[in-house]
Structure 1
Amino acid sequence: MGWLIPRLLATVLVVLAGALVGMALGAVSHWPAVGALLGAAVGALLHAFFDALRAHRFMDWLRRQHEGAAPRDAGFWGEVGYRVERSVRLLERRVDSEHARLDQFLSAIEASPNGVMLLDANDQIEWCNSVAADHFGLDPQRDRRQRVTNLVRAPVFVAYLQSGAYDDAVSFAGPGSRGTISVLIRTYGEGMKLVLSQDITERERNDAMRRDFVANVSHEIRTPLTVLAGFIETMGNLPLTEVERRRVLELMSQQTTRMQTLVGDLLTLAQLEGSPRPPADRWVAVQRLFAQVQVDARALSAARHTLNFNGGETAQIAGAEAELLSAIANLVNNAVRYTPSGGNVDVSWTQRGDGAGELRVRDSGIGIAREHLPRLTERFYRVDGSRSRDTGGTGLGLSIVKHVAQRHGGELEVTSEPGKGSSFTLVFPAPRVRSSEPATQPQQVDESIDRIGTA
């Protein structure tokens, strides 16, 4: 109300001033009263004119969407302009702040690994992030305000959207059969819907692999257990000769060893998957690994093969010795098992020009068909199941080798051809490979001592 009294006083003063001027002019013509009335009227009109002019400037500023500053007039309109401008600027700052928060919120949703899509009450797309657009095969800009069921025609999704029962998620094949999409819908506001999508292709693949793994383990353990149970029943119910009894005990021992090997490989895999990566500052000599593997390989071969170990005299690998030994032993033992008598098994170490190291196990065995090569490192995958079991394999050896290679930053390369043997190569990166100085030979030491004595 601070503007009311000054405005009234200004009006009264203008009218009085006009009346006085009019009275003075009217006195000349002997009509002072008439002159006073005319002067008051003229003063009131002038005051109203200038007031209307200030109001017009203010309204023009409002019509121009508040461009620039409000008119800086004195009095009532100046006060109105100042207060309106302040309110407008405050509102603009609040709107800008809300826009910034909205942009930040949408940016956060855009960065989400899951898909987010907003639908209005008519199931039209209000907004979606790029992940949801990829899941549903949409264009985030072009498809706005389009009805989602006109664009996503998967029967499972359409039925789920129209059912109104959104307690559980549904899954269906994504566009172009690129994978499996899981969708969950939540309602909000006046019929609005929040559609959350997730690519579960990898999860389903892992679940399938886990189910297959459990089924394979159960099968692999059940087989020797069934054999053992049969032998135990045979020994308990039938009179056996000493030769038959020894044969049964030998077969029972083989099945027990097979189960022990299987359990050992399973524990090795579990340890590889659950333990931290091998240290990069603990060096293991390749020759030391070769020496240990060679003993086991010769015992397994029983002089039926020619075994050659070459290279690696000064080479060292950074990592876990037990893991490296397990990987190399699996490769060499497989080569011995699947190479007929009289064949060759060559184990070699070479260092590439880029510093990486290659440990290659090559055999002259039966070889592997091309279609089996991509699946060789899968758990329990066998090219020939019966033959693998006859040789004592568990189907986990190459899976262990692959895990060891990956944990040491390397990879496993396989080349093979039926009837021409196979080649398995462990490639270790340059940071995990080095060469040590060769040890001084005894003869060189003796010669050095002789030279010193002569001098």
Structure 2
Amino acid sequence: MQDIRWKALWLGLATVFICLIIWAATDAMTALAVFAAAILLYLISHLFWLHKLLQWFKKPDLNSMPIGAGIWEDVFAAIYYEKRRHSRSQAQISSALDRFRHAASALPDGVVLLNGNDQIEWCNPTAEHQLGLSMKQDAGQPISYLVRPVDFIQYLHRQDYSEPIKLKSWRNAGATLEIQLVPFGANQKLLLSRDISQVEKLETMRRDFIANVSHEMRTPLTVVGGFIETLMDMEGAVPESTRSYFSMMQEQTNRMRRLIEDLLTLSQLENSPEAPQESEIDLSALLNMLLHEGNSLSQNQHHITLDPVEPGLFIKGAPEELHSALGNLVSNAVRYTPKGESISLKLLLRGTNVIFSVCDTGIGIEQQHIDRLTERFYRVDRSRSRETGGTGLGLSIVKHILTRHQGHLEIESEAGKGSIFSAVLPQSRLIRKTVASVDSLP
């Protein structure tokens, strides 16, 4: 821009100088006429090149760009170089976009790009096959018009995409899809779909294998345990020198039976995706039963307390399942809390949740173990688990039961300071009933 200004300045000074010479040689009117003609010619030239620039902008081709004259030569040169740089950048972007599309097209998973209105902008061939889409026909269509399962529509509108959902394929019988939405940019989303049919089959085979093996082992273990118990009860059948061995056999047989019972319970929960048969459960009665069971298991070696429960509180759920889940939390606290320490049971209403918490002053758990506690057979201290009779399946059972009741398990713990295990259920399951006062009774 500096060069253009200098050129305009020198051109103006030259015109004025020439007019002054004409004025000196002739008269003022002639010089003024020459100056006016020069200004008019200058404006006409600008209008001419502006017209050329406008015409070129309608079809901006580098090969047809005007060359210009004077100041306009620099203007057209600057536009030419900028246009060429832009063309190179655009070519690089187009090349990168083509490489991205080719890479996305080669993915074994389906990929659908959605705009802020959940309309399809692009999808790869895998998504077309899995979801029944057509890039040519469905571009610009809302995804909810084409992928219509109720679970997906609810997932799309829920705005919580932290976990994927599983859907039975509506195109291929027996196929299962895992779908997850990933937000990015300005309200845009990536829809990722994966065929997990083989994984589901393997998982079903694993569950069936565990259930069948556990069921088949239950009978022989019952027989062996029964014979050992009978022999130990028969006077003189077991010499005193070997009685300790029989006690060990009975202990290990009982441990195996507990393990098989837990495996069967877990398999039953995993193989029953439908909602459990529910009824109204009196929370006060349930928690008092858990307190009694905890004291029985503890044999008065711990100080177990239950905070007062508001009368008339009921919760909707499967009685056996919730009793098993909450009982597991209480028994774990008793097993892993040293003798003489305290355990407290609490029922809290927090926000939209009903929370049953078991607080202990036991050995606690280090933070790196907490996320894995609900895994099958995961134990922080294997030797201690064997001593306390744990199977490593209790918290996994708790997790499955709470999930079936739209709840979850929360764990807070610090090594050496104790733990808090909380079963969190939605308050929509809570039922309040009016309790008649004692004075009003006949």
Structure 2-normalised TM-score? 0.49
Q: Which protein shows a greater Rg?
A: 1
Structure 1-normalised TM-score? 0.48
